[in-house]
């Protein structure tokens, strides 16, 4: 394994992590922003008010995006296993 191939594997792995986590993180960010605006306008500073809706939104995002995330992970894993002979030899 050369340094270039190791860097390529690391780069592609990090890119997959970013792509797969982006929908869930963006939904969590939007829900948190909406709840924060509601808290600021109503002067309610309850911590569970932000925590519970975020958990529900993340769960729904995982239900909705879960099949896409799983298929993308399977494709990436198959691609990694197919590259093993080229890396070793």
Domain that holds residue 34: 3-88
Model-level pTM?
A: 0.81
Enter the DSSP assignment of 70: H
Tens-digit pLDDT profile for residues 45-73: 887 888 899 999 999 999 999 999 999 99
| Both tokens assigned to 59 | 């769960």
How do the residues of the chain divide into helix, strand and coil, expressed in percent and rounded to 5?
90, 0, 10
Total domain count for the chain?
1
Q: Is the pLDDT of residue 89 over 80?
A: no
């Amino acid at each position: 394994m050369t340094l270039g191939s190791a860097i390529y594997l690391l780069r592609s792995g990090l890119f997959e992590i970013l792509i797969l986590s982006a929908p869930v993180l963006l939904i969590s960010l939007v829900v948190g922003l909406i709840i924060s605006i509601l808290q600021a306008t109503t002067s309610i500073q309850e911590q569970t008010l932000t925590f519970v809706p975020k958990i529900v939104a993340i769960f729904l995002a995982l239900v909705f995006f879960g099949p896409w995330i799983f298929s993308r992970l399977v494709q990436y894993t198959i691609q990694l296993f197919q590259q093993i002979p080229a890396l070793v030899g």
